[in-house]
């Protein structure tokens, strides 16, 4: 099977495709929120920009922030489980919610704020691929407020067989597709919105604009990996020096300390008082 060079999970592709094709984003959002597409009367993308100078920043988030019928919706795609993901989305929610209060307005005017995360790893112990969280009283399960909500869609839990009538699973299968054959299988179902999304995928990935933006993002990812490697290497060296200092105090020979810590004889010698 021919592996895709880029997938719908590629952050630059994800944002470019759905910003340039808001009708596809609207259809996807309706399925993620579980609401009829025709019920969406207000749909605004709050952060359509992708400044080139920011793409090279390893901390740049390529999420999509929307206003949907008066509620704030933040759509995130996360490939790697870097730890603390629930806490991260809580932070995203708090930032979006707290910044939404108009000056001089009461707290009742704060909008319903939802974080929807499509994630390429298993986060919870249960089998269901879709989980929704909101604050509830632990005994009576009564909701505290409907203004906080978290959707998680775990791609590794998707079923192997997908019915062409299940639009949510079709959308998630696009994000889960890793090969040309998987895209062709979805396209062969002849679901119009899926075919439109796949056509948009091929058009964008072939464009020079996408190639340049992806180059900047790839460089940022490489720089981040290199910085992490250097930080670990420096920390390991400092730990070895600390151990060597203690072994010197115990009277071990330079050769013994060098063999134990991996430091050179010269480095151990330099630690002597």
- Quick one: 132 and 247 in the same domain? no
| Cβ neighbour number for residue 100 with a 10 Å cutoff | 17
Q: Are residues 133 and 70 in the same domain?
A: yes
Residue 23 included in any domain: yes
Same domain for 21 and 154: yes
Does the pLDDT at position 21 exceed 60?
Answer: yes
Give the whole-angstrom CA distance, residue 148 versus residue 170: 27
Helix (H) or strand (E) holding 68: strand 64-68
Say yes or no: 143 and 61 in one domain. yes
Which pLDDT score, from 0 to 100, does residue 251 have?
A: 77
For residue range 104-145, list pLDDT tens digits in order: 788 888 999 999 999 999 999 999 999 999 999 999 999 999
Q: Domain limits at 97?
A: 11-206
pLDDT for 224:
60
Q: Give the phi and the psi of residue 253 in degrees, each rounded to 5.
A: -75, 160
Give which of 74, 75, 145, 150 is closest to 110, Cα–Cα: 145
User: Quick check: is 216 in a domain?
Assistant: no
CA dihedral 228, 229, 232, 237 (to 10 degrees): -140
User: Do 32 and 115 have their domain in common?
Assistant: yes
56 occurs within a structural domain = yes
- How would residue 226 be classed by pLDDT, with cut points 50, 70 and 90? low
Average per-residue pLDDT for the chain: 89
Mean pLDDT of 203-221: 86
Question: Do residues 95 and 141 share a domain?
Answer: yes
Angle at 113 between CA 111 and CA 81, to 5 degrees: 165
Residue 2 — pLDDT band, cuts 50, 70, 90?
Answer: very high
| pLDDT value of position 56 | 63
Give yes or no: residues 98 and 187 share one domain.
yes
Which residues have a Cβ under 8 Å from the Cβ of 257 and sit 6 or more positions away?
Answer: 244, 247, 248, 263, 268
Residue 71 has pLDDT above 60, yes or no: yes
Task: Report residue 243's pLDDT band, with 50, 70 and 90 as the boundaries.
Answer: confident
Which residues, including other chains, have CB under 8 Å from residue 3's CB and lie 6 or more apart? 178, 179, 180
Q: Is 36 left (phi over 0), alpha (psi -120 to 50) or beta?
A: beta
Q: Read off the pTM.
A: 0.80
Q: From the centroid of its chain, how far is CA 21?
A: 20
Average pLDDT over residues 210-225: 76
Per-residue pLDDT tens over the stretch 245-259: 887 877 778 788 788
Whether 62 contacts 76, CB under 8 Å: no
């Amino acid at each position: 099977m021919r592996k895709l060079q880029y997938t719908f999970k590629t952050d630059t592709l994800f944002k470019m495709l759905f910003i340039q094709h808001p009708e596809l984003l609207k259809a996807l959002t309706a399925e993620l929120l579980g609401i009829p597409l025709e019920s969406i009367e207000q749909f605004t993308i709050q952060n359509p920009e992708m400044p080139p100078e920011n793409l090279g920043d390893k901390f740049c988030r390529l999420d999509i922030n929307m206003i949907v019928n008066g509620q704030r919706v933040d759509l995130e795609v996360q490939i790697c489980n870097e730890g603390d993901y629930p806490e991260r989305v809580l932070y995203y929610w708090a930032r979006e919610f707290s910044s939404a209060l108009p000056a001089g307005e009461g707290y009742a005017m704060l909008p319903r704020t939802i974080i929807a995360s499509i994630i390429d790893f298993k986060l919870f112990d249960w089998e269901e691929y879709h989980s929704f969280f909101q604050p509830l009283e632990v005994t009576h399960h009564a909701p505290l407020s409907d203004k906080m909500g978290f959707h998680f869609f775990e791609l590794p839990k998707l079923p192997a067989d997908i019915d062409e009538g299940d639009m949510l699973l079709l959308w998630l299968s696009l994000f889960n597709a890793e090969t040309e054959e998987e895209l062709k299988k979805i396209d062969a179902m002849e679901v119009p919105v899926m075919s439109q999304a796949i056509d948009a995928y091929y058009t964008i990935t072939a464009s020079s604009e996408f190639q340049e933006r992806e180059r900047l993002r790839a460089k940022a990812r490489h720089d981040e990996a290199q910085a992490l490697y250097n930080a670990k290497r420096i920390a390991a060296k400092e730990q070895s020096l600390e151990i060597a200092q203690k072994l010197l105090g115990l009277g071990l020979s330079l050769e013994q300390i060098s063999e134990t810590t991996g430091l050179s004889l010269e480095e151990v010698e330099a630690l002597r008082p």
